[in-house]
Homo-oligomer: A and B are copies of this chain.
Amino acid sequence: MFKVPDYQVAGHQAGGGKLGPLVDDSGHFYKPLQSDERGSQELAFYTAFSTDTRIPDHIRKFFPVFHGTKLLEASDGSGLSPHLALEDIVSSRINPCILDAKIGARTWYPQAAEDYLQRCLKKDRETASLELGFRISGLQVHGNKETGVWKPDRTVIQRGSVDETKLTLRKFVSSNPSTDSDIKPDCCFASTVYGGCNGILAELLVLKSWFEDQTIYHFYSCSVMMVYDKESLQQGKKQGAQIKLVDFAHVIDGKGVIDHNFLGGLCSLIRMISEIVTDPST
């Protein structure tokens, strides 16, 4: 009944005796609660957020629906353990294309312990985060028959330069994604996935408006996940491209200040995607 999702692009992955998330047939995604404070912080966030009346509906839809916790046999064979039961964003799609972008130049919060801070700072400097305000944590793209599924190495993608990251964002909406630098991405889905009034860019701009104003939560080390599938696009289904925020183990109280770290990174991502929508042929 429970199985390892076959579309995960970032985060801890189950399989091979490792602990990771599970899915079932009813559209739920079960994320194991990390045993340290990350687990309790993520649970506390979902619990508080799901009943927070200050969150307007047009923003709430960017967050996975929370269905409480559930004791499940952990994927690593360690026995029953608590999992967050969340909306499964991906499994209803055929051949989903997924991109996970961790937002913010800084993944640590001001009150973080010194060793955690230094570890995060090191990674933010080694990856694209510091320079770009975000880093692509992972992605998979279903290309055409020749290219198949393109799922590049995560550590390479995270360290991408400005130009490499721009290129990856182009490949994400192309039918010919490839690591081969001779193949120019055709960006043939740019106008339908990124552009348009229901496209990813429009959704990111709605999210941005909220972040310019909200002082409730600060989202450290949180990702924007972008999902689409060509089948839905081609059939003109209602379920087009969409974004969801994921990973809330490092959300802290905003204390009356906007989340300038997340907002800055989000604006940087928006700027790059705008560039692709405006000129997909470059």
The minimal Cβ–Cβ distance linking A124 to chain B, given in whole angstroms, is: 9
Can you list 25 residue pairs at the A/B interface with Cβ under 8 Å?
A105-B260, A105-B261, A106-B106, A110-B125, A131-B257, A132-B260, A133-B260, A133-B261, A162-B255, A162-B256, A163-B256, A166-B256, A212-B267, A212-B271, A213-B271, A215-B271, A258-B268, A258-B271, A260-B268, A261-B264, A263-B264, A263-B267, A264-B264, A264-B265, A264-B267
Category for how many chain A residues contact B: 20 to 34
Q: Nearest 10 A-B pairs (CB), nearest first?
A: A264-B264, A260-B264, A133-B260, A260-B268, A110-B130, A258-B271, A258-B268, A263-B264, A110-B131, A162-B256
Q: How many angstroms from the CA of A237 to the CA of B162 in the assembled complex?
A: 47
A121: nearest chain-B partner, CB-CB: B121
The minimal Cβ–Cβ distance linking A174 to chain B, given in whole angstroms, is: 20
A103: nearest chain-B partner, CB-CB: B260
Q: How many angstroms from the CA of A130 to the CA of B106 in the assembled complex?
A: 10
Tally of this chain's copies? 2
The minimal Cβ–Cβ distance linking A100 to chain B, given in whole angstroms, is: 19
A270: nearest chain-B partner, CB-CB: B212
| Residues 145-178 of chain A, each 1 if its beta carbon lies under 8 Å from chain B, else 0 | 0000000000000000011001000000000000
In the complex, chain A residues 93-133 whose Cβ is within 8 Å of any chain B Cβ: 105-106, 110, 125, 130-133
| Residues 5-28 of chain A, each 1 if its beta carbon lies under 8 Å from chain B, else 0 | 000000000000000000000000
The minimal Cβ–Cβ distance linking A177 to chain B, given in whole angstroms, is: 22
Which secondary structure dominates where chain A touches chain B?
helix
Q: Which residues of B contact A265 (CB under 8 A)?
A: 260, 264
Q: How many angstroms from the CA of A195 to the CA of B13 in the assembled complex?
A: 52
Q: How many angstroms from the CA of A162 to the CA of B258 in the assembled complex?
A: 11
Q: How many angstroms from the CA of A258 to the CA of B273 in the assembled complex?
A: 12
A211: nearest chain-B partner, CB-CB: B267
Q: Which residues of B contact A131 (CB under 8 A)?
A: 110, 255, 257
The minimal Cβ–Cβ distance linking A274 to chain B, given in whole angstroms, is: 9
Residue of A131, A166, A264 with most chain B CB atoms under a 10 A cut-off: A264
Q: Which residues of B contact A258 (CB under 8 A)?
A: 133, 267-268, 271
Q: How many angstroms from the CA of A110 to the CA of B130 in the assembled complex?
A: 7
Q: How many angstroms from the CA of A38 to the CA of B255 in the assembled complex?
A: 36
Q: How many angstroms from the CA of A166 to the CA of B131 in the assembled complex?
A: 30
A125: nearest chain-B partner, CB-CB: B110
A162 touches which one: B166, B257, B264 (CB < 8 A)? B257
Q: Which residues of B contact A110 (CB under 8 A)?
A: 125, 130-131
In the complex, chain A residues 230-269 whose Cβ is within 8 Å of any chain B Cβ: 255-258, 260-261, 263-265, 267-268
